[in-house]
Amino acid sequence: MMKNVLNLKSQISNLKLKFAICILQFAILFLLPGCVRRTDLETVHQFEAAQKTFDEATTPEDFVKAAAQYQEIADAGIQSGAVYYNLGNAWMRAKQPGRAVAAYRLAQRYLPRDRALEENLRNALRRQDVAPRESLWETIFFWQNWLSYPEKFYAAAVAVGLTFLCGVVVLLLPRRRVWKRLAWVGLALSALLIASAAYDWYRFDDLTHGVVVQAEVTARKGNAENYAPAFNEKLDEGTEFRLLDRRGDWLLIRLGGGQEGWIPEKTAVLY
Amino acid sequence: MLYRVTLNHVEHPSPPKLEGFDRDFTVTSLGEQSLDFQNVMIINGRRTETIRRGRQYNYQLTPKRTGELTIPAPTAEVDGVTLRGRAVRISVEPASRQDVVRMEITVAPQAVYPLQPFQVTLSIAVKALPGPEADKNPLGVQSAPPQLIIPWANDRRLPEGLEPETDLDRWLGRLVDRRGTGFAVNNFRQRDVFSFFEDRPLTFMPRPEKIELSDKDGKQAVYWRYQFKRTFTATKVDVYTFGPATLKGVFGVAGDAEDRLVGKEIYAVAKALHVAIKDVPTEGRPESYCGAIGRFDLSAELTPRKAKTGDPMTLTLTLSGQGTLEDAVAPDLAKIPGIAGKFKVYDATEQTRDGRRQFTYSLRPLDADVTEFPAIPVAYFDVQQDRFVTQRTPPMPIEISRAAVLAGRDIVAAPGAAAGRSQEVEMQKGGIYANILDPNLAVDQGVDPQPWLIGLGGVTGFYALLAFGAVAWRRRSGDTVRLRRRSAPAAAHKRLHAGLDALQAGQKREGIEQIEAAVKNLVADWIDAPAAGMTAAEAARHLETLGVNGEVIAAARRLLDNCESVRYGATAADLAALHRDARPTVQSLLKALRRAK
């Protein structure tokens, strides 16, 4: 009888292995939605046309036209680091560094480790330190500005998938303590990466950012020209801010240092 | 003259056009004011609403000549319609030849460089009072102060590029006479310029000095001279006009029979004067002259100091100090020996902030043998020394190593490669603002969190289901009765085959025992009872308890009895019957047991 029981356990182990593989496949299918994306032909044509306009441009007005073409691609829903990067270049050549800063910041979400982008952003901002504004979360999640927006989701998905696999192994082989430890480590890592991705979603999709696109914009204490200036100095083109509120044609903004003021909407771009 | 254009019953008008005015008049805008008014009255329940819309524009007109002059009709555009006012004829009388007040504008020096200070002086000489009043200040006897118009005493209307040394408040503020004597300048009222409490014209009294001048008869006469001196600097090459300045007021000219002063209204004009701001000399101008005028310090910053050939580097040149920087242009680095051919230099960006002019260059080293970034000469014109001054940045040590792959002279790691999509190094056209050329990278990288959340929820839910199933499985796996029953059919088949094989091989005893054990163990395993010592009767009783069909029980019992009988003396026919009946009996028993459970 003992022998029979052993045989039975061996069969069960084989079954468990096959079962675990099936479950992993299922988890991967669940967790990697839309990992593989292709450029559609229409976008390729638009991209090439914009590049042609860029290449042939000689005056700032010509570069504005190129920027408009890249913007059209972005407006069609193509959120691409390459498109935003080229858009930023077009604005820089059009001598509109404020709009270029906005485009480069958008590009940075998808190309965070790109050195050329960093250089161009540094030129647009005219300062050495171009690291994205760092909050407490970004200090804790030290990889926050190193991984791109989608990469964080992929990393979280992989961590969740591996944790799931470890968890399944723990279910099937409850006496293997190594798997249990791996599952706990994976669970902690998954939680961190999910929080990191969620923070990106919050700061990129939930918050609205902006850049001043005119020289010497006066921020005021209220949403009208007759209010007193909010700061001693005027805002330069390229000044970055976070949008807090909007009333009519006026925006309530918060600068990196925490100062708040109202500026006319036409003096800034939002993203 | 105060000239006022009023636009009534219009909203948001554009300022009127004063075409043709400059032929006979100097026009100075004095500002504008809204005439918008709204009033609602309710009397005995009857509501009356009065709305007025309009705007008023004020100007000061100064005739350029005497005679019959026509002030042309002003025009204004309102909602695409051109409105035209009326022309006004006026008579401008020539100023009578008088020697009571003499005015003059002087500038020293008359030609200067940008940023070189020059002083504009308005001198007003007023003839001393006659008779016993001769020692009295001639400006201390008027009931109303004389009106003095000084065009450059209004900082908001100074021409572009002209900077006063001190602002208006500090310049004129120290000349304010609180007793109300002196000149009323530009009709400044206390609430307009200075925050005093009274609302009357401010008067200004420069410290007077007595001088002697020839009067209209050529005789020497004593005059009191008042001087308004103001220092300016110009920030760009241009010609600036100061004046004319005008004075209108009553001055004491004679005494009556009782030695009382007799006043006379005097209108005096000081002719305008021009100041030429010269460009810096072309002679001796160094090639590195950047267009800055003043006195500056030069600094440079290069980052990073360690790079590979083709890597981007940023050079920032900063000019800081006193002077004109707006027109300063970035030095052409490509002309500097030590940079030409060894660095690819892209167009610099220029920025002026807080009195500093910054030029930011993007560079790419082309030569790995370069160990030092050379000194950069930048020259400016120092107006105080009246010569060009050349400053040089210190040479900066750098480390350039050879890049792994070089393609042409501009090699840029493609952003796509940096992001991990490709390890290729690809050349991009144009340098630092080079675009990403691969259209395949124009792929939507946007993130929609919803499917990810659904995926996460799905995995979590699925794992919960698995965990639930595993717990149930484990619980069932711990049921030894169930385990034994589940393993019973396989064991019975195995024993049956072994028994039949043994019989086939002539091993009668072994075969009989295996067949007997196949049946008894099957029954025992099914009910979790010990198989050892189980008789055929007991097996049949257990089967009955399980509700197995009677025929199957009979067949099983018959098989067990046959096994018992052939063990002690079997013929070949008995063994053949046992061999024949064993398999169908065990199979029918299994079927019956499964059905019975």
Alpha-carbon gap, residue A120 to B360, rounded angstroms: 11
Q: Do A124 and A72 reside in the same domain of the chain? A: yes
Residue A155 lies in a domain: yes
A39 in contact with chain B, both atoms CB, cutoff 8 A: yes
Between A128-132, B225-229, B452-456, the lowest mean confidence (pLDDT) is in: A128-132
Mutation target to probe the A interface, by most A beta carbons within 10 A, among B305, B350, B352, B447 is B447
Structure tokens at B183: 């000149």
Query: Are residues A84 and A74 in contact, defined by beta-carbon separation less than 8 angstroms?
Result: yes
User: Is the domain B289-401 a CATH 2.60.40 member?
Assistant: yes
pLDDT number for residue B354: 74
Alpha-carbon gap, residue B382 to B115, rounded angstroms: 9
- Looking at A83, A108, A130, the residue that finishes a domain is A130
pLDDT score of B549 more than 80: yes
| Banded pLDDT at B428 (limits 50, 70, 90) | very low
Q: Nearest chain B residue to A38 by CA: give it.
A: B443
Nearest Cα to Cα of residue B367 among B333, B398, B394, B336: B398
Q: Is A248 left (phi over 0), alpha (psi -120 to 50) or beta?
A: left
pLDDT score of A111 more than 80: yes
Give the A window 193-252 contacts with B, CB below 8 Å.
194, 197-198, 200-201, 205, 236
pLDDT number for residue B432: 58
Please give the CATH number for the structural domain made up of B480-596: 1.20.120
Mutation target to probe the B interface, by most B beta carbons within 10 A, among A89, A200, A233 is A89
pLDDT score of B405 more than 50: no
Q: Which of 1.10.10, 2.60.40, 3.10.20, 3.30.70 is the CATH number of B101-277?
A: 2.60.40
- The CATH number assigned to the domain holding A230 equals 2.30.30.40
Query: Are residues B567 and B509 in contact, defined by beta-carbon separation less than 8 angstroms?
Result: yes
Residue B405 CB coordination number (10 Å) = 10
Mutation target to probe the B interface, by most B beta carbons within 10 A, among A45, A171, A202, A233 is A171
How many structural domains comprise chain A?
3
CB contact under 8 A, A51 and B437: yes
Q: Do A229 and A107 reside in the same domain of the chain? A: no
Residue B589 CB coordination number (10 Å) = 26
Residue A123 lies in a domain: yes
Distances (CA, A) of B420 to A153, A213, B339: 16, 33, 33
Residue identified by tokens 């008008």 is B13
B576 in contact with chain A, both atoms CB, cutoff 8 A: no
Alpha-carbon gap, residue A87 to A80, rounded angstroms: 11
Size of interface A-B (CB pairs under 8 A): 175
Residue A76 lies in a domain: yes
Q: Do A184 and A239 reside in the same domain of the chain? A: no
The tens digit of pLDDT for each residue in B360-370 reads 888 888 888 88
pLDDT number for residue A84: 93
- Looking at A130, A165, A191, the residue that finishes a domain is A130
pLDDT (average), residues A9-16: 59
Q: Do A136 and A6 reside in the same domain of the chain? A: yes
Q: Do A7 and A49 reside in the same domain of the chain? A: no
Please give the full DSSP string across B184-244, using - where no structure is assigned: EEEEEEHHHHS--S--SEEEE-PPPEEEEEE-TTS-EEEEEEEEEEEEEEESSS-EEEE--
The tens digit of pLDDT for each residue in A141-176 reads 778 888 888 888 888 888 988 898 888 888 877 777
Nearest Cα to Cα of residue A137 among A209, A185, A195: A195
pTM: 0.42
pLDDT number for residue A30: 56
Between A60-69, B62-71, B320-329, B371-380, the lowest mean confidence (pLDDT) is in: B320-329
- Residue ranges, comma separated, of all CATH 1.20.120 domains in chain B are 480-596
Q: What is the 3-state secondary structure (H, E, C) of B150-179?
A: CCCCCHHHCCCCEEECCCHHHHHHCCECCC
The tens digit of pLDDT for each residue in B161-202 reads 898 989 888 899 889 988 888 999 988 876 544 444 456 788
pLDDT number for residue A95: 86
CB contact under 8 A, B452 and A33: yes
> Please, which residues have CB within 8 angstroms of residue B357's CB and are 6 or more apart in sequence?
B292, B318, B319, B320, B325, B326, B328, B350, B351
pLDDT score of A187 more than 70: yes
pLDDT number for residue B215: 84
Residue A36 lies in a domain: no
pLDDT score of B423 more than 80: no
Give the B window 384-423 contacts with A, CB below 8 Å.
412-413, 415-416, 418-419
Give contacts of A115 with chain B, Cβ < 8 Å.
Answer: 311-312, 413, 418
Query: Are residues B15 and B59 in contact, defined by beta-carbon separation less than 8 angstroms?
Result: no
pLDDT number for residue A17: 60
The tens digit of pLDDT for each residue in B37-57 reads 777 777 777 777 778 788 889
E strand or H helix at B69: strand B67-71
Q: Do A75 and A122 reside in the same domain of the chain? A: yes
| Banded pLDDT at B105 (limits 50, 70, 90) | very high
CB contact under 8 A, B525 and A1: yes
Q: Do A194 and A254 reside in the same domain of the chain? A: no
| Banded pLDDT at B83 (limits 50, 70, 90) | confident
Residue A220 lies in a domain: yes
Tell me which of B322 and B419 has the higher pLDDT.
Answer: B322
pLDDT number for residue A25: 59
Nearest Cα to Cα of residue A82 among A97, A66, A104: A104
Alpha-carbon gap, residue B327 to B143, rounded angstroms: 52
Give contacts of B472 with chain A, Cβ < 8 Å.
Answer: none
pLDDT number for residue B416: 38
Structure tokens at B280: 């810096």
pLDDT number for residue A20: 61
Give the B window 476-535 contacts with A, CB below 8 Å.
477, 483-484, 486-487, 490-491, 525
Between A78-82, B65-69, B130-134, the lowest mean confidence (pLDDT) is in: B130-134
Q: Is B94 helix (H, G, I), strand (E, B) or coil?
A: coil
Q: Do A4 and A123 reside in the same domain of the chain? A: no
Structure tokens at B153: 């005493």
pLDDT score of B28 more than 60: yes
pLDDT number for residue B72: 93
CB contact under 8 A, A116 and B491: no
Q: Do A126 and A139 reside in the same domain of the chain? A: no
**Percent of residues, chain B, with pLDDT higher than 70:** 92
Please give the full DSSP string across B240-282, using - where no structure is assigned: EEE--EEEEEEEEEEE-TTS-EEEEEEEEEE--EEEEEPPPPS
Alpha-carbon gap, residue B496 to B501, rounded angstroms: 8
The tens digit of pLDDT for each residue in B110-164 reads 778 888 889 999 999 999 988 778 888 999 888 889 999 998 998 888 888 898 9
Q: Nearest chain A residue to B452 by CA: give it.
A: A31
Q: What is the mean pLDDT of chain B?
A: 83
pLDDT score of B321 more than 60: yes
A160 in contact with chain B, both atoms CB, cutoff 8 A: yes
pLDDT number for residue B431: 46
Q: Do A193 and A233 reside in the same domain of the chain? A: no
Mutation target to probe the A interface, by most A beta carbons within 10 A, among B443, B462, B522 is B443
- Looking at A184, A206, A228, the residue that finishes a domain is A206
Q: Do A138 and A109 reside in the same domain of the chain? A: no
- Residue ranges, comma separated, of all CATH 2.60.40 domains in chain B are 101-277, 289-401
Alpha-carbon gap, residue A78 to A64, rounded angstroms: 19
Alpha-carbon gap, residue B268 to B223, rounded angstroms: 15
pLDDT number for residue B208: 93
Tell me which of A248 and A209 has the higher pLDDT.
Answer: A209
The runs of H, that is alpha helices, within B314-448 are 415-418
In which domain, by residue range, is A195 found? 1-31+131-206
- The CATH number assigned to the domain holding A85 equals 1.25.40.10
Q: Burial-class residue A62 by CB neighbours within 10 Å (0-12, 13-18, 19+).
A: middle
Could you tell me how many residues make up chain A?
Answer: 271
| Banded pLDDT at A2 (limits 50, 70, 90) | very low
Q: Do A246 and A257 reside in the same domain of the chain? A: yes
pLDDT (average), residues B19-45: 82
Question: How close does chain B come to A185, measured CA to CA in Å?
Answer: 16
Nearest CB to A120: which of B433, B442, B456? B433
The tens digit of pLDDT for each residue in B241-269 reads 898 898 988 898 877 777 778 888 888 88
Nearest Cα to Cα of residue B145 among B188, B203, B106, B89: B203
Nearest CB to B432: which of A27, A83, A119? A119
pLDDT number for residue B140: 84
Residue identified by tokens 């100064």 is B62
> Please, which residues have CB within 8 angstroms of residue B402's CB and are 6 or more apart in sequence?
B308, B309, B368
